[in-house]
Structure 1
Amino acid sequence: MWIQWMAIISVLIIVSLGIAAIYGSYRWQIGTDNLRAQLTNGRREIQPKIYEQKEISGEPAPVQRFFQTVLKDKQSIVSAVKLFQQGEFNLNEMKDKWNPFTATQLFVAQRLGFDWDARIQIAPLLNAFVHDTYLLGEGNLHASLLGLFTLAKMHDTPELNQGELLRFLAEAVWYPTALLPSQGVVWEAINDTSARGTLTDGATTVSLVFQFNAEGVISTIRAEARYRDKLTAMPWVGRFGEYSIQNGMLIPLYGEVGWEHPEGLRLYFKGKITEINYEFAL
């Protein structure tokens, strides 16, 4: 008899989890729609609407090679991007414990912002829902179990705003017209294979060192200090690969990101773009 009761209880638990997952996903999607409506409503007109090579004539040599490699003259400027990702996320601070994830992400070039909406599987039928957002100059991080129970929530602190703007600048490799000087990025020479890009939005200014490989594309990015929390800032590193032509632009489909500890780089994200759709200013 007890075996039958255990079976009934197991079924009830599975059904309850399924109902909670459906309701949580529905509730979470409402929040996603609201965030993305704010992103869209905050958009501004982009100028100029096309890229011309004369724009980069005074930039550092590796930066010029980069734009000549990834863009064609008269390329329309990207105004918005929606992409789909899948990959693995390491949720453990001390050891490798990779969990699969899927995500959608919306970028808006002006006024610049993004929303990353992810599902990280932490166990069968059990997902962590994550919003990582930069909206109207403010960062937002919200993690929730099943979309119902808050695990972490941060909003609009100087440290978080800096981290989210750094993410926007790093991921501009997927929409490379956003890295143009006309779109607000200031480039500074370092050497023949690297340059520093600086971006300001409102009260927040961030810089990344971009390393370019022999083909002229971005292989790595590095921030000297990105805040992990309000007290701890560490070097932050991203690596890119699997370059592919998308809408006439050469972009990486694979990326991985981690924190640089004294003992070496510790990755926490490995992801690949499975689909990417652009809107253009012209």
Structure 2
Amino acid sequence: MWIKWVAVVTAVLLAIFAVLAAFGVWRWNAGTRGLMERLEAARCDTPHARFDAERDLVGLPPVVQRFFRAALADGTPFVAAASLEHRGTFNLAAEGPDRWIPFTSTQRVTTRRPGFVWNARMTIAPGLTVRVHDAYVAGEGILHPALLGLVSLTELRGTTPELGGVAHGEFMRFVAEATWYPTALLPSQGARWTAVDEQSARVDLADGRVVTSLLLAFHPSTGLIDSVRAEARGRTVGQAVVMTPWEGRWSDYAELGPVNTTAGRQRSARS
């Protein structure tokens, strides 16, 4: 009899967990659709343009001109939006021993107005997931992880442009990932380039009052982006924001999609 009651209680608990998990997925997907709708609503109507090296590269540092010639063919349409899928591992440990967990995600990016919505699913234990929204939408930065899509672990939102704010950090991510949509880094799209040395340059980009500056290093042979770095980006530690060096690295480039542009695999690194 005791074993029978244990089995019944276990079955009931599993059924409750399944219902909660299903409700969490439904609720999370509704939130994702809301963010996507805001992202699309913020897009600007822009004339259809194509890359023209003679026009678009005038006055740029030689290393930057070399990058665009390697990444874009003449006549390539400017990237207005992109949809991405990711699969990999994510390190939960801010300090101490690494703790890598698997994740899958989708990402929607728009370039005018700059924005993105990253929607991730991370498995922290068998049957137990954390869903994450990381986004920059209409000038607002958003970071929201939730257990099963129901229980918020934290929720950061902000529109203030100051260094260390969530809006600044998310816009920095938009610029750092622009190797996937390199036309966003052209001067006609608002980017300002400054040579640092023969293999690196600094790019400055603004979205309204949110302004970021990143150092890009280029591969000496291919001319494509090797790494992108900021000396300070806000990192949340408990209730505090700690300014921390931040870097991403790129490799394994391949041509993708009908726009005949290039993309690579990104690897994030803690500094």
TM-score w.r.t. length of structure 1: 0.88
CA RMSD across the alignment? 1.4
- Counterpart in the other structure of 2:263: 251
Alignment of 1:192-207 (within 5 A): 192-207=198-213
Q: For residue 241 of structure 2, what is the amino acid of its counterpart?
A: L
**Contact 1:87–1:101 (CA<8 Å) still a contact in 2?**
yes
Structure 1: state its 5+ residue gaps. 261-282
Equivalent residues in 2 for 1:107-118, closer than 5 Å:
107-118=109-120
Aligned to 1:119: 121
Corresponding residue of 1:228:
235
**Structure 2 partner of 1:219:** 226
Alpha-carbon deviation of 1:259? 2.7
**Alignment partner of 2:169: what SS?**
helix
Per the alignment, in what secondary structure is the counterpart of residue 97 of structure 2?
A: coil
Tell me, in whole angstroms, the C-alpha distance in 1 between the residues paired with 2:210 and 2:73.
Answer: 31
Secondary structure at 2:29 match in 1: helix
Paired-residue identity, %? 40
Q: Offset of 1:189 from its aligned partner?
A: 0.1
Query: Normalization by structure 2: what TM-score?
Result: 0.91
SS at match of 2:241: coil
Which protein, 1 or 2, shows the higher relative CO under an 8 Å CA cutoff with sep ≥ 6?
1
Offset from partner CA, 1:191-221 (integer Å, 9 cap, x none): 1111101111111110111111121110111
Match of 1:273 in 2: none
**Distance in 2, Cα, partners of 1:84 & 1:259:** 22
Offset at 1:2?
A: 3.7
CA distance in 2, matches of 1:210, 1:242: 17
* Matched residue, 1:131: 133
User: What is the 5 A alignment of 1:63-74?
Assistant: 63-74=64-75
Unpaired runs of 5+ in structure 2? none
Provide the aligned length of Structure 1 versus Structure 2: 259
Task: Give CA-to-partner distance per residue, 1:110-145, whole Å, 9 cap, x none.
Answer: 111001011111111111111111011110111111
Shift of 1:47: 4.5
Does the 8 Å contact 2:48/2:77 carry over to 1?
no
CA contact (8 A) 1:17 1:125 kept: no
Partner of 2:34: 34
Separation in structure 2 between the aligned mates of residue 14 and residue 62 of structure 1, nearest angstrom: 59
Question: What is the 5 A alignment of 1:83-232?
Answer: 83-93=84-94, 94-156=96-158, 157=160, 158=162, 159-213=165-219, 214-229=221-236, 231-232=241-242
